[in-house]
């Protein structure tokens, strides 16, 4: 008997530009991203915008993918070239893929990030941007420095989200974090499946932005936390910590208000119903976005179908995660919403 296909829109789906040369494992450049760890089959899927990816989407129950380039330490010029290439590659499949712009995230690069985001949403009809997070100012800046106010203002003006996503590790980071005697067959899945979760800086970046009153200055700013990591499990610890700060030193808006109205989490780190329930109990359901982490894990629609059939959403608004069409996660690009196919959105 034929089954009704799912209509999921996956929000943390990766792309690797064919124009980007991958350094060999023998590279002497400590700042080079370690893309050479990716198996050739995964590299092929990352670079593909044609029948291979569309076939995988059909098997996974995806009607659309929100595409973003894997973040790595990239200059403003490199980001611009990669976004140009992404736009060119996507022109023939705009009904299947909705791009986010890769933005520079180094110290003092907020103005460059704003300039690139404006180009991508006005010229290319992208629906938001991605900032890469990394340990230390050598890889990403402090997003609470005032140079990024221009980016937050632009995102607020166009009503588009900015996604915070962990960078792919660089060569020097690999040598510090992992044992030298691990074979590539072990390092590759360790990096693609575990690295972003265990090295997530998301909670610290969010706290820095909150404590620097970013959300007071930009009350309609919308951030997507692509890899929440341990953030959901540490939420009560965070609120307890914030309670210790004198009122005179706190932002005007309570953290809970920001959490419920400015922050969106994805299911990229969710592996089962137990962890999904825990996530949904901490934040409104319409702030949770479906993600399959393609092509690293290629998790399909099974977990969403299990959630839908569990009765957990009874009496709750499931619009964000499961949507009004029985399994759709919608992203609206605000004034550029037509780039996502003209569907109504939940980011309001």
Q: Looking at the predicted structure, is the pLDDT value of residue 344 above 50?
A: no
Of 112-126, 141-155, 267-281, 330-344, give the range with the top mean pLDDT: 112-126
CA distances from 72 to 15, 16, 56 (A): 12, 11, 25
pLDDT band at 346 (very low <50, low <70, confident <90, very high): very low
Confidence at residue 243, expressed as pLDDT on a 0 to 100 scale: 95
Of the listed ranges 158-167, 206-215, 254-263, 272-281, the one predicted with least confidence: 272-281
The residue that leads in pLDDT, 293 or 253, is 253
pLDDT band at 113 (very low <50, low <70, confident <90, very high): very high
pLDDT band at 78 (very low <50, low <70, confident <90, very high): very high
Q: Looking at the predicted structure, is the pLDDT value of residue 318 above 70?
A: no
Q: Looking at the predicted structure, is the pLDDT value of residue 17 above 90?
A: yes
The residue that leads in pLDDT, 328 or 292, is 292
State the DSSP string of 194-215.
Answer: IIHHHT--HHHHHHHHHHTTHH
Of the CATH numbers 3.40.50.300, 3.90.1150.10, 3.20.20.140, 1.10.3720.10, which one belongs to the domain with range 8-22+32-340? 3.20.20.140
Of 142-151, 188-197, 279-288, 302-311, give the range with the top mean pLDDT: 142-151
Q: Looking at the predicted structure, is the pLDDT value of residue 266 above 80?
A: yes
Confidence at residue 23, expressed as pLDDT on a 0 to 100 scale: 78
Q: Where are the chain's structural domains?
A: 8-22+32-340
> In whole angstroms, what is the distance from residue 145 CA to residue 148 CA?
6
Per cent of the chain over pLDDT 90 is 44
Of the listed ranges 88-102, 209-223, 249-263, the one predicted with least confidence: 88-102
pLDDT band at 196 (very low <50, low <70, confident <90, very high): low
> In whole angstroms, what is the distance from residue 117 CA to residue 126 CA?
8
Q: Looking at the predicted structure, is the pLDDT value of residue 137 above 50?
A: no
Mean pLDDT of 270-290: 85
Of 22-31, 107-116, 193-202, 335-344, give the range with the top mean pLDDT: 107-116
Of the listed ranges 116-130, 133-147, 166-180, 189-203, the one predicted with least confidence: 133-147
Mean pLDDT of 141-165: 92
What is the overall mean pLDDT for the chain?
82
pTM metric for this prediction: 0.87
pLDDT tens-digit readout, 292-303 = 889 988 776 788
* Sequence-separated (6 or more) residues with CB below 8 Å from residue 299: 60, 292, 293
Confidence at residue 4, expressed as pLDDT on a 0 to 100 scale: 38
Of the listed ranges 15-19, 128-132, 175-179, 338-342, the one predicted with least confidence: 338-342
Confidence at residue 179, expressed as pLDDT on a 0 to 100 scale: 60
Confidence at residue 180, expressed as pLDDT on a 0 to 100 scale: 63
Residue found by looking up tokens 């009122």 in the block: 247
pLDDT band at 120 (very low <50, low <70, confident <90, very high): very high
The rounded Cα 273 to chain-centroid distance in angstroms is 21
Confidence at residue 185, expressed as pLDDT on a 0 to 100 scale: 77
Q: 280: part of which helix (H) or strand (E)?
A: helix 273-280
CA distances from 77 to 112, 136, 152, 340 (A): 9, 21, 20, 26
By the 8 A CB rule, do 311 and 32 touch?
Answer: no
Report phi then psi at 337, rounded to 5: -60, -25
Confidence at residue 331, expressed as pLDDT on a 0 to 100 scale: 44
């Amino acid at each position: 008997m034929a089954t009704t296909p799912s209509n999921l829109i996956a929000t943390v789906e990766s792309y690797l530009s064919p124009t980007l040369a991958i350094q060999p494992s023998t590279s002497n450049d400590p700042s080079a991203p370690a893309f050479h760890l990716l198996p050739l089959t995964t590299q092929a899927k990352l670079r593909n915008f044609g029948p291979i990816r569309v076939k995988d989407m059909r098997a996974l129950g995806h009607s659309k993918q929100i595409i973003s380039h894997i973040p790595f330490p990239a200059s403003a010029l490199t980001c611009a070239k990669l976004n140009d290439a992404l736009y060119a590659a996507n022109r023939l499949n705009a009904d299947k893929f909705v791009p986010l712009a890769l933005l520079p995230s180094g110290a003092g690069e907020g103005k460059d990030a704003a300039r690139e985001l404006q180009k991508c949403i006005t010229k290319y009809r992208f629906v938001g941007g991605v900032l890469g997070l990394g340990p230390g100012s050598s890889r990403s800046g402090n997003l609470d420095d005032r140079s990024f106010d221009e980016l937050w203002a632009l995102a607020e003006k166009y009503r588009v989200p900015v996604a915070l996503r962990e960078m792919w590790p660089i060569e020097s980071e690999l040598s510090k974090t992992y044992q030298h005697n691990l074979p590539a067959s072990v390092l590759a899945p360790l990096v693609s499946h575990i690295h972003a979760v265990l090295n997530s800086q998301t909670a610290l970046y969010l706290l820095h932005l909150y404590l620097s009153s970013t959300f007071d200055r930009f009350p309609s700013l919308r951030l997507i936390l692509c890899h929440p990591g341990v953030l959901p499990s540490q939420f009560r610890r965070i609120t307890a910590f914030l309670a210790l700060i004198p009122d005179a030193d706190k932002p005007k808006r309570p953290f809970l208000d920001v959490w419920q109205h400015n922050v969106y989490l994805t299911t990229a780190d969710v592996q089962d119903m137990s962890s999904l329930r825990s996530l949904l109990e901490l934040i409104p359901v319409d702030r949770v976005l479906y993600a399959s982490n393609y092509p690293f894990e290629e998790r399909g629609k099974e977990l969403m179908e299990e959630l839908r059939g569990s009765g957990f959403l009874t009496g709750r608004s499931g619009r964000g995660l499961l949507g009004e069409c029985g399994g759709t996660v919608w992203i609206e690009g605000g004034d550029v919403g037509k780039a996502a196919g003209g569907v109504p959105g939940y980011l309001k």
